[in-house]
Amino acid sequence: MSRNASRILLSIAVIYLLVGTVGHDPWRGDDARHFGLVFEMIDGGPALLPALGADTSTDFGPLFYWLASALAIALEWLLPLHDGARLTSALLTAAALWALWRASGLMHGTQARSAVVLLTIGSLGLVVHAHETQPVMGLLAAQACTLWMLVSRHRLALPAAGVCAGAAFLFAGIVGALVTWPLLLFQLLPSDRSDRASPIAVLAAMAIATVIAVAWLLPASAQPGWNSWLGAEFDALRPAVPAADRVVDWFKLFGWSLWPLWPLALWSMWRAWHGAAISHVPLLLAALVPALLAVVLTGSLRPAQMLPLIVPLALLAAPAVERLRRGAAAAFDWFAVMTFSALGILLWLAWSALVNAWPPGLARHFKKLAPGFDLTLGVLALAVSGAVVVAWIVYLAWRRPAGRDAALTWALGMTLLWCLAISMGQPWFDHSRSYRPAAQELAVVLRDHPGECIDGVGLGLSQRSAMHYFAGVRVASESEARGCPLILVFQDRRSAPGDLATVGRELWRFERGGGRQHERLVLLSAHP
pLDDT, one tens digit for every residue, the chain (528 residues):
444 678 899 999 999 999 999 999 999 999 999 999 999 999 998 999 999 888 888 889 999 999 999 999 999 999 999 999 999 999 999 999 999 999 999 999 988 999 999 999 999 999 999 999 999 999 999 999 999 999 998 889 999 999 999 999 999 999 999 999 999 998 887 665 546 678 899 999 999 999 999 999 999 999 989 999 999 888 877 765 555 667 788 889 999 999 999 999 999 999 999 888 888 899 999 999 999 988 887 657 788 989 999 999 999 999 999 888 889 999 999 999 999 999 999 999 999 999 888 999 999 988 888 888 888 767 888 899 999 999 999 999 998 887 889 999 999 999 999 999 999 999 999 999 999 999 999 999 999 998 889 999 999 899 999 999 999 999 988 877 778 999 999 998 777 667 787 788 999 999 998 878 889 999 999 865
CA 304 – CA 431 distance, rounded (Å): 23
C-alpha angle 171-175-180 in degrees, rounded to nearest 5? 80
Contact 211, 166 (CB under 8 A): yes
At residue 244, the pLDDT reads 62
CA 425 vs. chain centroid, Å, equals 19
Nearest to 463 by CA among 20, 23, 22, 35: 35
Q: CB count, 10 Å around CB of 250?
A: 18
Tell me, letter by letter, the H, E, C secondary structure of 338-389. HHHHHHHHHHHHHHHHHHHCCCHHHHHHHHHHCCCCCCCCCHHHHHHHHHHH
At residue 527, the pLDDT reads 62
Backbone angles phi, psi at 58, to 5 degrees: -105, 5
At residue 256, the pLDDT reads 95
At residue 2, the pLDDT reads 46
Contact 170, 216 (CB under 8 A): yes
Q: CB count, 10 Å around CB of 440?
A: 11
Contact 470, 439 (CB under 8 A): yes
At residue 446, the pLDDT reads 94
CB-count burial class (<10 Å; 0-12, 13-18, 19+) for 193: exposed
Residues with Cβ within 8 Å of residue 443, at least 6 apart in sequence: 470, 471, 472, 473
Contact 318, 112 (CB under 8 A): yes
At residue 496, the pLDDT reads 65
CA 415 – CA 413 distance, rounded (Å): 5
